[in-house]
Chain A
Amino acid sequence: MPVFNQSRSYIIRLIFIIAFLVMLGQLLNLQIISGKYQKLAADNAIFKKTVYPSRGIVFDRKKKAIVNNVLMYDLMVTPSEVKNVDTAYLCQLLEIDTAEFKSRIIEAIVKNGRYRPSSFEGLLTQEKYARLQENMWRFEDKGFFLQDRLVRTFPFNAGAHFMGYTGEVDSGIIARSEGFYLPGDYVGRTGLEAYYEKVLMGQRGLQYLIKDHRNRLVGSYDNGSLDQKAISGRGLNTYVDIEIQQLAEKLLTNKIGAIIAIEPKTGGIIAMASGPTFNPNDLTGADFKKTYGKFVLDVSRPLLNRAIKGQYPPGSTYKPIGALIGLDEGVINQNSGIGCTGAYYGCARPVRCTEKWAGHSGNLRQSIAHSCNSFFSMTYRLTVDNPKIGNVKKGYAKWKEYMNAFGYGNPLGVDLPSEDRGNIPDTTRYNKVYRGAWNSCTNVTLGIGQDMMLATPVQIANAMCIIANKGYFYTPHFVKEIENETKEDSVLNRFRTRHQIPVHISNSDYEDVIDGMEDVTIVGTAAGIPKIPGINICAKTGTAENKIVLDGRALQLKDHSLFACFAPREDPKIAIAVIVENGGFGSTWAGPMAYLMIEKYLTDSLRADRAKEVDRIASTNLMPGYLPRLQYKEDSARAYFYFNLTKDSNYIKKYLHKGYTPPPVKKEQDTPKTRVVYRKPELFEPEKGFLIRKKNATV
C-alpha cells in the first residue's frame, strides 16, 4: 500500500488547477480584453444590403409623367451553383456563344467570388426577358435567377436633353460625395436628374442580413430590428408640356439646333429641345452602353443640350434689344429712321442690308419689321458714341451693362447643370484684340447681333420674356414644385423671385419695340409665314453668318436660321427662341417652327394643314454637309491613335483599303446671295471644345 504517494494527489490537483487557470486566462483575453472579435464576427456574418429607393417621378404641367420607373430584370448567376446547366440552350436564349458564356462566368467569379451572385446579363431586353421567364425553371436551381431592378423610362419618348440620364456612380463622384454615394448607386449624370439629384434620389434603406460561411444569405439579422426602410425619391412637378416638347423634338428631327419655349409670367420652361434629337429611352436600360458610345463619337454631338450649351450669334434677334437700348439712352426715338439703300455706309466698310427699297427703314417700327441692318448699325454706333457719356469705351461699357441686364453674357442660372454664358465681350477684350485702337465702327456689327456677340438659345428666349413682361423676368426653370415640399427645399426659392432688370426702360419704349415686332409678322420679314387666326405674335427673325475651318480651309456655311418671339401680344403666354443651324433665313425654318409651337400651345391643337407642315419640316434633313467629312477625320484620327497605342492594324485597315474614298464635303446649296460682310464675326464652332479635347487624346 503505497501510502507515501498520497501527497501526489495534491500535485495532480495542482496540475488540474494550473491547466484550468491557463484556459481561463486565454478566455479572459479572447472574450473581454481583446475586444476585436465582436467586429470580426459581425464582418463574418452580417451583410448590410442596400435597399435602393425608387427615384422620384417627373411630371409635366398636366400631371403626366415625363419620367417614370419601370421594373427590369438582371440575370444573375452564382458561379458555385452552376452545375448541369443546359449551356447551349441558355446561350441560344441570350443570343451568345459558349465561349462568351464561359468568359462571363469567369468575369462573375473575378468580380464577386464564387459563392456570391453577380450579374450575368444586366437589364434584359423585353424579348430576352420574355424568353428567359418561360424557361427559368430549367436554370433556377442551377445558380441562375432573375433580379428585379428599377430603371428610368420615358413614356413619351421625349425630354432627353433636359431630363438627362442616370448612371452608376464613378470613383470621382464617390470621392466628391465624401462617402455619401457607394459603388453601385445610380446617380443623375446630367440634366434635371443631376440638378435635383437630392430630391429625386430619396433615401437608401439598409437591410441587415445574415450570411453563412459560404456567403449565402440565410435570413434577416435580429428579425430586421436594425433595418432602415428605403424612402423613395420625391416627384417633381414641372412647367413642361410634354406634347409641346414632343412637337419641338419632332420639328428638330435631322437638324442641328435648339428650341426653347418659356412662360414669360413665371419663367417656367414649357419645352426645351436640342437637335439632333434622340429617344431618351435609348439611354436607359440595356442599350445604354451601346447608344452612349455611339453618341459620344458622333460629331453632330447629339448629347449636347444646345438650348443651354449652344452659343450662337443672335443675329437680328438682338435688334429689339438694340432698339430698346437706343430708346432708353435717348439716341433714337420712335420716329428715327435712316435712308437705307442696301447697306450702311457710316463706316469705312459698308454693312450690307437685305432690303434696299425706300421706306423699309423710315422709322423704328419699320426698321424692326424689315430688320434693317443700316438702322441698327446706326443705333449701335449712336449708343456707344453717345456724347453724354464721353468716349466709345465708356459708351461700350454702358451698352454692355444693358446687355447684361437683358441676361446676355452670363449664365442665367437655369435649373440644369453646366449652362453656358454666351459672350458679350468686355472692353478689355477689344483693347486686347485691337491694341486699344478701336471705335464704334470696329465692332459695328454688334448692332446686328454679330461680331463677338454670342448667346445661348435660352438667353434669347429669356430676352423675349423681358420684352414681353416689359422689364422683369423669372429665371427660366423647369420645376414648379417638389412633391411634399418643405422649408428645407430652398433650391426653388431662386426661381420664385421676380427679377426687375437693373436698367429702367419706360413702358412706351417697350410698346414701340413690341409694335415693331408685331409688324414683323404682319408686314415684315416673317409675314410669309401663315398666320394663326386670333393670335398676335410679336417676333424677330434672325439670320446669322457662320463658318468653320475644315481641312485647313475656312468654310463659309449656310446661315443659321433664328427666330425669337412671344405671343399673344396682349397677354404673353409663351416666349420662344428657335435656332436651326445652317437653315438659312430666319423665316425659312425657325419661324414656321415657332409658329407651330405657339399654335399647339395656345390653341391646344394644330389645324390639319399645320399638321402636314409639321411632317414636312420633320422630314427635311438640314444636317450640314461637312459632317461626314468631319466624322471621317475624327474617326480616322482616333483609329490612328489606337493603332499607335496597340500596334493593331485592324484599327486602320478600313482607311488603308484601296477602294476606300473618304466622303467629300458636300456643296452647300442655295446660299443666300446677300449677306453681311465687313468684319468676320467670331466663328461659332460647336465642335471646337470637343475637337480640342479629342486632339489632346489623339495626338
Chain B
Amino acid sequence: MNRNDTGISKGIDVSLIWLYLLLVMVGIMAIFAVTYKEGDAVLASFFSFKTDYSKQMYYFFIAFVLGIFILLTDSKFFTATANIWYALGIVMLLLVFPFHSRVKGTESIIRFGGFQFQPAEFCKVCVCLALAKYLSLPNLDFSKTRSQLIAAGIVLLPSMLTILQSETGLALVYFSFFIVMYREGLPATVLVVGFSLAALVVATLLVDKNVLAVALTVVAALVGYIIYRQSRRKRGILTKVVFIWIICVGIQRFGVPFVFKHVMQPYQVERIFSTIGRDIPEEYQKTGSKQELQKPGKKDVDYNVKQSKIAIGSGGFTGKGLLKGTQTRYDFVPEQRTDFIFCTIGEGFGFIGTTVLLGIYMLLLFRIVAVAERQRSVFSRCYAYGVAAVLFFHVTINICMTIGLAPVIGIPLPFISYGGTALLTFTILLFILIRLDADRQMVLR
C-alpha cells in the first residue's frame, strides 16, 4: 500500500537504476584514469568542465536529470508519441546531410552552438519506440511476411541513412532489433539463414575459395543423397538443395568479393582482414587502393587492436591499479576514452576487473529481459527487448573489438565510453523502459 502512495518511485525498478549508476561511475573513473595528468587538482578539475572526466560528469548530471523527467512523465506519452519520435529521428538523420560538420572523418554530426549532436546515435531510441509501437498494434499478425517486411523496413531505413553518413558501426546496431522481432514471432529460419550467411561469409574470408567450394559441394551432395535415399518421391527437396548449393557457391565465389571490392570502403576491408589476421587477397582489393595501403610509414591497420590487446593483456589477473596502466595512461591505444575505454579497465583492474564489468552488464541484460517478460503490454515488452538487444550488441561488439574478436567498428561501450550523446541516448533508452515498467500493472496495452 505504501508503495502505491510514493508517487514517482512507485513501481520503479530500483535495481536497474543502481546498475545504471554503477556503470556510469565506472565510466567516469575509467575516463579519469585515462586523462588525469599528474599534479592536477582532482576535485577542482572534476568541477571545472575542462577535463574529459569532468565533462562526462556534467553529461551524467544532465542525463540523470533528464531521466528523472522521463520518470515523471506518463508512460502513455511514449506509446502515443512513438511514431512522432520516429518521424523526428528520420528528419534529423536527413538534416545531417546538408548540415553536418566534419568531425574526425564522420559525416554524422550536427553542430549548433558549442554542442555536437549525433542523430544516428539518438535515433536508436526512436526506432526502438517505433518498432515496439508497430509490433504492439492490436490487429497485427506478425506471422505474415508483409508485416515482417514492414518491421524490417522500420529498422533498416535509419540504418541505411546511417551508412550513408559513413557510420557503419552505428548502422549495424539496428540489426540487433531482429532479436526483438525474433522474440515476437519472426520465424527462426530467418535468424538461422542470417547466421548461416554470416558463417558462410566468414568461411569465405578464412578458407581458400577452391577448398571451400569443394567442401560445399560435398556437403550438398551428401545432404542430397541422404534425402534422396529417405524419400525418393520428393524431388522438390532435391531441387531446393541444388538451389541452396548454387547460392552458397555463388556468394562464396562472386558475392563476397564483389561486396568487398565495390561496396565497402578500403579501410573497412583492412579492418576486417586485420581482425582475422590475414593479408588482403588480391580479388578483394579495390583497384587503386593497393598503392595507398602499402604507403611506407602508414601505421599498421591493426595498430589499435594490437595496442588494445597489449593493454588488456598486460593487466594480468589483478591489474596494475588505477592510474598505473602505462598503455592507457600514455596514449598508446587510440580513442581510448571513447571506443577503447574497455582497455583502461582491462589494464588497471586485470581479469578480475573485466570479469566484474562483464558480470555487471550480464546482470543488467538479464534484469532487462526479466523486466520484459513480466510486462503485460506488448509495447513495453517489445521496447524492453529492444533496449536489451541494443545494449547487448554494443557491449559485445565493443568488447570483442578491443580484444581482437571483431573488426574495429566505432561504437561506444554503453554508459562507460566518453561522449555526451551516447550517454544521453542510453540513459533515455533505459529510463523510458523504467517508466514503462513502473506502469506495468496499469493497463493492458
Contact = CB atoms under 8 A, between A and B. Distances in A.
B142 A2 contact: yes
B404 A9 contact: no
Given A210-B330, A213-B331, A218-B330, A41 B403 contact: no
Contacts of A212: 330-332
A45 B346 CA distance: 17
A514 to B, nearest CB: 76
A34 B183 contact: no
B333 to A, nearest CB: 8
Contacts of B327: 41, 44-45
A30 B183 contact: no
A8 B373 CA distance: 11
Nearest to B444: A1
A5 B310 CA distance: 43
Given A23-B396, A31-B317, A37 B182 contact: no
Contacts of A28: 351
A305 B184 CA distance: 98
Interface string B384-397: 01001000100010
Contacts of A26: 400, 403-405
A78 to B, nearest CB: 17
B49 interface: no
Interface in A1-48: 1-2, 5-6, 8-9, 12-13, 15-17, 19-20, 22-24, 26-28, 30-32, 34, 36-38, 40-42, 44-46
A12 B182 contact: yes
Interface stretch (B150-158, B223-231, B358-366): B358-366
B185 interface: yes
B70 interface: no
Contact of B369 (A13, A32, A211): A13
Nearest to A21: B358
A9 B369 contact: yes
Contacts of B358: 20, 23-24, 27
A41 B333 CA distance: 11
Contacts of A183: none
Contacts of A44: 307, 310, 326-327, 332
Interface in B314-365: 314-317, 326-327, 329-332, 346-347, 350-351, 354-355, 358, 361-362, 365
A664 interface: no
A27 B355 contact: yes
B398 to A, nearest CB: 10
A367 to B, nearest CB: 84
A95 to B, nearest CB: 33
A93 B93 CA distance: 60
Main secondary structure of the interface of B (DSSP, over half): helix
B440 interface: no
Contacts of B354: 27, 31
B312 interface: yes
Given A2-B185, A42-B326, A212-B330, A30 B369 contact: no
B362 A41 contact: no
Given A19-B392, A34-B313, A8 B183 contact: yes
A661 to B, nearest CB: 55
B208 interface: no
A16 B326 contact: no
B316 A32 contact: yes
B317 A32 contact: yes
A692 B251 CA distance: 77
Nearest to B135: A2
B366 A13 contact: yes
Contacts of A40: 310, 313-314
A506 to B, nearest CB: 79
A23 B331 contact: no
Contacts of B405: 22-23, 26
B200 interface: no
Contacts of B347: 41
B346 A41 contact: no
B346 A31 contact: yes
Given A16-B366, A27-B346, A41-B311, A9 B316 contact: no
Interface in B36-87: 38
Which of A1, A2, A41, A46 has the most chain B CB within a 10 Å cutoff? A41
A45 B326 contact: yes
Nearest to A4: B185
B357 to A, nearest CB: 10
A219 interface: yes
A37 B326 contact: no
B172 to A, nearest CB: 15
Contacts of A36: 313
B399 interface: yes
Contacts of A2: 142, 184-185
Given A19-B392, A26-B404, A211-B330, A31 B315 contact: yes
A31 B329 CA distance: 18
Contact of B326 (A13, A23, A27, A46): A46
A12 to B, nearest CB: 6
B12 interface: no
B205 to A, nearest CB: 18
A219 B323 CA distance: 14
Nearest to A45: B326
B392 A5 contact: no
B403 A5 contact: no
For A1, A30, A38, A210, the residue with the greatest tally of chain B CB atoms inside 10 Å of its CB is A30
Contacts of B17: none
A2 to B, nearest CB: 5
Contacts of B362: 16-17, 20
Contacts of A45: 326-327, 330, 332
B372 interface: yes
Contact of A27 (B307, B351, B366, B396): B351
Nearest to B39: A219
Nearest to B350: A31
Contacts of A34: 313
A9 B183 CA distance: 7
A210 B332 CA distance: 12
B309 A37 contact: yes
B355 A24 contact: yes
B179 interface: yes
Contacts of B312: 27, 30-31, 37
B332 A23 contact: no
A213 B314 contact: no
Contact of B310 (A8, A15, A27, A41): A41
Contacts of A219: 38
Interface string A188-222: 00000000000000000000001111100011010
Contacts of B346: 27, 30-31
B355 A41 contact: no
A41 B330 contact: no
A589 B317 CA distance: 82
Interface string A280-319: 0000000000000000000000000000000000000000
B403 A30 contact: yes
B199 to A, nearest CB: 14
B326 A41 contact: yes
B64 to A, nearest CB: 27
Contacts of B310: 37, 40-41, 44
Given A31-B316, A37-B314, A212-B332, 13 more contacts: A12-B369, A12-B388, A16-B392, A22-B400, A23-B405, A31-B313, A34-B313, A36-B313, A37-B309, A44-B307, A44-B327, A210-B326, A210-B330
Interface of A: 1-2, 5-6, 8-9, 12-13, 15-17, 19-20, 22-24, 26-28, 30-32, 34, 36-38, 40-42, 44-46, 210-214, 218-219, 221
17 contacts: A1-B378, A12-B182, A12-B388, A19-B396, A20-B361, A27-B351, A31-B317, A31-B351, A34-B313, A36-B313, A38-B316, A40-B310, A41-B311, A41-B313, A41-B326, A45-B332, A218-B330
6 tightest Cβ-Cβ pairs between the two chains A and B? A37-B313, A41-B314, A45-B326, A212-B330, A30-B313, A31-B351
